[in-house]
Amino acid sequence: MPVGRARWKECLMTPSSSAAVAFLGIGLMGSRQARRLLDAGYDLTVWNRSREKAEALTPLGARVVDTASQAVQDAEIVVLMLENGGIVTDVLFNQGVTEALRPGTILVDMSSIKPAEAQDHARLLAERGVHHIDAPVSGGTVGAEQGTLAIMAGGDAKAFSRVKPVLEVMGRPVHVGPHGAGQLAKLANQIIVGVTIGAVAEALLLAERGGADPARVREALRGGFAESRILELHGQRMVERDFVTKGRSVTHLKDLDNALDAAERLSLQEVPYTALTADLFRGLIENAGDLDHSGLLVELERRNGSPV
């Protein structure tokens, strides 16, 4: 049954380090985030579709359960880190999670999904007195392990302030607006990262074709106006041709497609950089597989007559 707004706000409590937290999704990112919560002393219950991944956290003090609904039934805070919006919707509304959540629970969805999906989830959860924060992240597995993730949060400001101490264990949370705004911020991040990776790849390809040493060109550009984390890290991967996946191209393409969907919903007529970068990622995946996203260089080489 729906819970009145007055009762809902009464249920909103400030979590302590002894708060019961449920974490759904123990993948490359989630496993590292969960470890940080355990290290910080949180009482953590974890669930993953492949139980063996969650079992790796048992020696650190995590309680592993068989179903997502079991994980959340006693939680004050629920954190989701799942692959896409369809999976988030299925877990929340088809696996008994919503029914198992207690009124006043704060659900923090750190998955990267469509803003419209986050808004729908917030509305449906509010009907049951559950607070929803969409809080996607940037920083990759290194940031997750080190607790330095950029966390972009959308939703009720009061709910965000209550859950902020938990998020600070995992990174640097910033409240950016209402429900769905966190996802919009993540899409902005992915546009900037993707377009910049493409620009670095194109620039190094141009330099190499003209006879310059790409490694020396990258070194020469460092410290000037072209300096960026992308030039530093992804440029180095391009120079070394190290395309072992650290940031999945499939995931980046999903985010760019979500950005195109959001742009259409917001009646933006042209987003050419996003559209072109999505096309490059699509070509990369079709022709070379799910390489690291710095592998855009491989796709540009292919389009310019170089073998993959």
Torsion of Cα atoms, 211 then 214 then 219 then 225, to 10°? 90
Contact 271, 259 (CB under 8 A): yes
Per the residue annotation, which of 114, 186, 246, 254 is the catalytic one?
A: 186
The Cα-based distances of 228 to 11, 69, 244, 256 in angstroms read: 44, 43, 21, 21
CA distance 44 to 77: 10
Annotation marks residue 186 as catalytic: yes
The closest of 51, 50, 44 to 72, measured between CA atoms, is 44
Please name every residue paired with 292 in a beta bridge, in sequence order, or none if there are none: 248
Would you name the residues annotated as active-site residues? 186
